[in-house]
Amino acid sequence: MSRHRVEVLIRPRPGLLDPEGKAIHHALASLGFQGVEEVRGGKSVSLEVEAKDPAEARERAEEMCRKLLANPVMEDYEIQMAGDDVPEGA
């Protein structure tokens, strides 16, 4: 078994109200940043997962998303795998 770095990006589903995104959009406009059409908020969760290979680590991360990390009614998620295993002691 080795440790694998997994990054989970969680965003509100398109078409759903996103108060955080609206607040960021308004603040950007107030600071003079023009041309920003849409802002969607979200969150990122970084994991180090013990697994025999990257496929198993991804599978475990999928299960974590379905059971806890993302609300399937309101949020979509994307799992990104780091290219390398995490060295011991890192």
pTM above 0.75, yes or no: yes
Model pLDDT for residues 9-43, shown as the tens digit of each residue: 999 999 999 999 999 999 999 999 999 999 999 99
Decide if domain 2-84 falls under CATH 3.30.1280.10.
yes
Domain ranges within the chain, ordered by starting residue? 2-84
Model pLDDT for residues 66-81, shown as the tens digit of each residue: 999 999 999 999 999 9
Q: How many CB atoms are located within 10 Å of the residue 62 CB?
A: 15
